[in-house]
């Protein structure tokens, strides 16, 4: 014989509420599960984008360099960190006085840094400890009284188009165009414009 519960104080849990709670638990699990995966994917994508941006900036905009020799003392010291920008030389050629980073033709160092002294079409001569460009003595306050001796390249020298004549500010200790000849524009990596390390040497070039 079937018995019926006639006690109004005893109520079974509503079926709809139980189903609703189960759906909420399942939905929360579904949201939390892919949440970590989505976060990990976004993080990896951000890292990849940052890496690509850094490489693009280094290749096309600005690049840091460590100074390997003392050929530019006292303007730049061994171990100084400089930034070289790569934009201006896409639209113009180097000018006399620019400090440029270029590939070392001797391959003793990855790059060298020197000052542009003469550009294509100019004649350079070295005599009596001074530099002459197209017959006029060049004013070089950055030498701080150092004299310039000739090297192995014959003087006077006409710089060909598409090349620059570069020399270090530390003339007695600089292996530059006096010995390695003029450098092609295609070898120039950029124009050094600031020293950013060490802190006490931060400044424009």
Task: Give the Cα separation of 28 and 50 in Å (integer).
Answer: 33
> What is the distance between the terminal CA atoms of the chain, rounded to a whole angstrom?
104
181 closest CA partner among 198, 164, 169, 193: 164
Q: How far is CA 110 from CA 10, 63, 69, 176, in A?
A: 88, 14, 12, 15
Task: Give the Cα separation of 134 and 157 in Å (integer).
Answer: 10
Task: Give the Cα separation of 75 and 66 in Å (integer).
Answer: 14
Q: Are 116 and 95 in contact (CB under 8 A)?
A: yes
Q: Which residues have a catalytic role annotated? A: 71, 114
Residue 53, helix vs strand vs coil:
helix
Task: Give the Cα separation of 72 and 174 in Å (integer).
Answer: 8
């Amino acid at each position: 014989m079937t018995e019926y519960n006639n006690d109004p104080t005893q109520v079974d849990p509503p079926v709809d509420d139980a189903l609703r709670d189960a759906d909420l638990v399942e939905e929360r699990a579904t949201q939390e599960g892919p949440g970590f995966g989505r976060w990990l994917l976004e993080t990896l994508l951000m890292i990849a984008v940052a890496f690509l941006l850094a490489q693009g900036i280094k290749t096309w905009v600005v690049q840091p360099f460590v100074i390997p020799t003392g050929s530019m003392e006292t303007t730049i010291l061994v171990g100084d960190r400089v930034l070289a920008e790569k934009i201006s030389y896409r639209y113009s050629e180097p000018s006399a006085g620019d400090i440029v980073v270029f590939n070392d033709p001797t391959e003793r160092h990855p790059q060298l840094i020197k000052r542009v002294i003469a550009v294509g079409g100019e004649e350079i001569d070295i005599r009596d400890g001074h530099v002459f460009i197209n017959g006029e003595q060049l004013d070089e306050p950055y030498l701080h009284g150092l004299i310039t001796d000739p090297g192995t390249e014959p003087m006077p020298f006409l710089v060909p188009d598409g090349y620059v004549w570069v020399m270090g500010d530390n003339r007695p200790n600089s292996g530059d165009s006096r010995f390695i000849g003029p450098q092609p524009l295609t070898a120039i990596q950029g124009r050094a414009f600031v020293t950013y390390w060490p802190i006490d040497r931060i400044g424009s070039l």
